[in-house]
Amino acid sequence: MSTSHLDHQDFGRIINNTLADPHLQKAVYTATGRLMSHRRSAIEPHLLPDYQELREQARLVKLHTIENLDWYLEQFERNVVAHGGHVHWCRDAEEVAETVLSIARPRGVKLVVKSKSMTSEEVHLNDRLAEHGIESVETDLGEYILQLLKQRPYHIIAPALHLTRYDVADLFEEKLGTPHDTVIENQTRTARVVLREAFLRADMGISGANFLVADSGAIVVVENEGNARLSTSAPRVHVAIAGIEKVIPRAQDLATFLKLLARSATGQMLSAYTSFLSGPRRAGEVDGPEEFHVILLDGGRTKLLEDEEKRTSLTCIRCGACLNHCPVYRKIGGHSFPWVYSGPIGAILTPQFHGLDAEPALPFASSLCGACAEVCPVKIDIPKILLRLRSDIKESEKGTAEHQFERMAFRAYAYAAARPKLWRRLTKIGARFSGPGIRNGASLPVVRDWLSQRDLPAPAAKSFRELWKERRP
Amino acid sequence: MKVSIFVTCVVDQLFPATGMAMATVLERAGCEIHFPEDQTCCGQPAFNTGYRDEAATVARHTMKVLQGSDYVVVPAGSCASMMCHHYTDLFATGTDHDAARQLAPRVVEFSKFLTDVLKVEDLGARFDGVVTYHDACHSLRELGIKDGPRRLLSKVRGLELREMDIPEECCGFGGTFSVKFPGVSGGMARTKIDSIVRTGADILVSADSSCLMQMAGAISRAGLPIRTMHLAEVLASR
């Protein structure tokens, strides 16, 4: 896949803009901090004594499913069809857009209501629908706000995390012409008036899916606003778009995943709404859509299956905990990331789905602190995968001009570090010359970058090995 | 007990007093110290930047130098973790893998060596001051070190420990990350330092010299009257 599938190539520039915006810095730090503390309270031992066992169980079930993906997906398809639904297999984002259009156009769909779906963000579905004169309305409050702003989600579960109620008050006043109001409940009411109208008029509802349950052919949608429940039941056609990795073997596995998902995401015991949707309205039922379609997207996922380490990336349940706990995400925010998935999980998914050259700086934007792996409900070892991707990138740079100076420096370092006499001589010379001269002159780019933020300690007058020698005659 | 010390390249060049303090503490705890002269660096800078061949060259050298030591004590969680966790990743098979597996259980981070191997907590230290303790990420998350350093500090006479609201948050060093993304790294350091300031402590203590280098640099740039000390230096004080 080419780099054109990324949303932007401005990683470094957006990072700097974000760092320079104190309003944004505060909004992101506060909102993620709140989610961190909610999660911490929700997994306290007296509330969830088997938290670590649940994580291990979740990891094993997901891994088993990923390792038998073909089998479970086909089982899922058979069961969806048995309930009267349809399953569409799509290789890439383009095929998803084509499939949605092929369902919408013959049925005369004019208005689509969408509930939050990260997978549909991979597709840029709203733009594609608009090209064909089909209007789509995002019905998750955060997503609705972002649609008005023409922005993409800032965060996997809290799309408008970077905006404060004051930002929203300004936006609604400007776009909807409503009086300036900073009370969140009133803002919700304002959005609700617009969205109710859309729900009633819509011909098609598009949702994501948190889980595809193979043994029952149901999809599970987890949400807090009830908009997903309306989007999937009010319009006459329901289309769910999900990545193929969302499948789980059995309905009973939800006992594990639902305990972990909301707690990890928002610190709730369970989200306000958990919908189990299996097929269209049946004879004698009073509500539900006339048609039920599930679109399964590969979109680069199957490429990861052959590698034992990398395939663990596909076990992610998109809770967003790694974003909230990542000190880098909390500084650079979600829009710096070049693709829809941001934070630590975005840093490992983007290069694996789109190729290492898509944004080669991305896996390096981590201090490898490990906070992400510590909170991951399915125990993905994100730092380890980042290290793998870093070395894959350096391998791919061999024989090119990329980072030539850095490569030479590390070669020289390794050469010297394996030769103790040379190492001793060089460090001694280094210590002599890295006195005030280098620190004031700051001629080396590495030193300049260090000094742009903080001071550098002066090398000691005598190294440890010299002091040690003096102590032991 | 005979122990080898691996002081790390950062301590050797920039913070030799930390290495000397570590030796003093270990001797007081009854150890006989050996400093393998040919030690250089653990190879982590290359490994974390993606240069596995170069990291392997350095790791092979280090494994050779440390061959035959019963214990290797290291004043830095991240270098210790490199040697006891990542060497085995670096060498998937063969004699190098065997050597890495041989070395791994013998490499012990300094505070863990005191609390878990020697099983001592009171080193007879006296230090008058209010300190706060920074959990180095790799000590905390890769080596599982959390209470040990605090128990050691609690036995130091005259010392008051005040916890930060975010003791476990990364200081932003991250090796080459600190210069590849200087603004992000610096911002992380400043967030951490704000938390240190809120404790009212005069001294920041940690058990990893790289974190201390990062935070000392940022503290100095901000002109704050806060000192940084390695845990070993506090424990060596009398």
> Among A351-365, A413-427, A432-446, B23-37, whose mean pLDDT is lowest?
A432-446
DSSP state of A253: G
CB nearest to A423's CB, from B16, B40, B218: B40
- Under 8 Å between Cβ of A27 and A162: yes
Can you list the alpha helix ranges (DSSP code H) found in A211-327? 227-233, 254-265, 321-325
Closest CA to A208 of A239, A254, A230, A248: A239
pLDDT at A3 over 50: no
> What's the longest Cα–Cα distance across chain B?
52
For helices A254-265 and A51-67, angle between their N-to-C axes, nearest 10 degrees: 120
The verdict on A455 touching B (C-beta cutoff 8 Å) is yes
Per-residue CA distances from B15 to A325, B209, B223 (Å): 31, 8, 21
Residue of B10, B14, B90 best to disrupt the A interface, most CBs of A under 10 A:
B14
pLDDT at A357 over 70: yes
Alpha-carbon gap, residue A413 to A399, rounded angstroms? 19
B34 to chain A: nearest residue by CA? A468
- CB under 8 Å, gap of 24 or more: what pairs does A100-106 form? A100/A125, A100/A128, A100/A129, A100/A206, A100/A239, A100/A241, A100/A295, A101/A128, A101/A129, A101/A132, A101/A134, A103/A204, A103/A237, A103/A239, A103/A291, A103/A293, A104/A129, A104/A132, A104/A134, A104/A203, A104/A204, A104/A237, A105/A132
pLDDT for position A445: 83
| Yes or no, beta carbons of A418 and B60 under 8 Å apart | yes
The model's pLDDT over A67-104, given as tens digits with 9 standing for 90+, comes to 999 999 999 999 999 999 999 999 999 999 999 999 99
For helices A165-176 and A184-201, angle between their N-to-C axes, nearest 10 degrees: 50
CB contacts of B65 in chain A (<8 Å) are 420
B12 to chain A: nearest residue by CA? A464
pLDDT for position A2: 40
Mean pLDDT of chain A: 94
pLDDT for position A87: 98
CB contacts of A462 in chain B (<8 Å) are 16
- Under 8 Å between Cβ of A380 and A419: no
The model's pLDDT over B93-135, given as tens digits with 9 standing for 90+, comes to 999 999 999 999 999 999 999 999 999 999 999 999 999 999 9
Alpha-carbon gap, residue B185 to A450, rounded angstroms? 9
pLDDT for position A442: 59
Q: Which A residues, 326 through 345, put their C-beta within 8 Å of a C-beta on chain B?
A: 327-328, 331-332
Alpha-carbon gap, residue A439 to A434, rounded angstroms? 7
The edge-to-edge listing of strands for the beta sheet with B72-74 is B32-34, B2-5, B72-74, B107-109
pLDDT tier at A447 (50, 70, 90 boundaries)?
Answer: confident
The residue ranking higher by pLDDT, A284 or A380, is A380
For helices A343-354 and A382-397, angle between their N-to-C axes, nearest 10 degrees: 40
Closest CA to B175 of A413, A291, A93: A413
pLDDT at A197 over 70: yes
On whether the pTM is more than 0.90, the answer is yes
The model's pLDDT over A289-347, given as tens digits with 9 standing for 90+, comes to 999 999 999 999 999 999 999 999 999 999 999 999 999 999 999 999 999 999 999 99
Pair of tokens at residue A267: 């610190």
Alpha-carbon gap, residue A461 to A463, rounded angstroms? 7
The model's pLDDT over A253-303, given as tens digits with 9 standing for 90+, comes to 999 999 999 999 999 999 999 999 999 999 899 889 999 999 999 999 999
Distance from CA of B93 to the nearest CA of A (A): 16
The edge-to-edge listing of strands for the beta sheet with B126-134 is B157-161, B126-134, B203-206, B227-230
Pair of tokens at residue B186: 């610096």
pLDDT for position A436: 59
pLDDT for position A9: 86
- Percentage of chain A exceeding pLDDT 70: 97
pLDDT tier at A41 (50, 70, 90 boundaries)?
Answer: very high
Pair of tokens at residue A442: 């700051």
Instruction: Work out the burial of residue B150: count CB atoms within 10 Å of its CB; fewer than 13 is exposed, 13-18 middle, 19 or more buried.
Output: middle
Per-residue CA distances from B45 to A222, A394, B42 (Å): 42, 14, 8
pLDDT for position A182: 96
Low-confidence ranges of chain B (pLDDT < 50): none
The model's pLDDT over A397-416, given as tens digits with 9 standing for 90+, comes to 999 999 999 999 999 999 99
pLDDT at A473 over 80: no
The model's pLDDT over B62-86, given as tens digits with 9 standing for 90+, comes to 999 999 899 999 999 999 999 999 9
CA atoms within 13 A on the CB side of A207: 30
Per-residue CA distances from B185 to A154, A406, A445, B28, B180 (Å): 21, 19, 16, 38, 9
CB contacts of A463 in chain B (<8 Å) are 12-13, 16
B54 to chain A: nearest residue by CA? A414
CB nearest to A394's CB, from B50, B182, B186: B50
Distance from CA of B66 to the nearest CA of A (A): 13
CB contacts of B230 in chain A (<8 Å) are none
- Give me the sign of the Cα torsion angle A284, A285, A287, A288: negative
The model's pLDDT over A120-173, given as tens digits with 9 standing for 90+, comes to 999 889 999 999 999 999 999 999 999 999 999 999 999 999 999 999 999 999
Closest CA to A405 of A445, A450, A351, A457: A445
Pair of tokens at residue B143: 């080596």
Alpha-carbon gap, residue A325 to A317, rounded angstroms? 16
Alpha-carbon gap, residue B27 to B35, rounded angstroms? 13
A364 to chain B: nearest residue by CA? B177
Q: Which A residues, 389 through 408, put their C-beta within 8 Å of a C-beta on chain B?
A: 390-394, 406-407
CB contacts of B23 in chain A (<8 Å) are 468
CB contacts of A332 in chain B (<8 Å) are 184
Alpha-carbon gap, residue A19 to A1, rounded angstroms? 31
DSSP state of A165: H
| Yes or no, beta carbons of A460 and B15 under 8 Å apart | yes
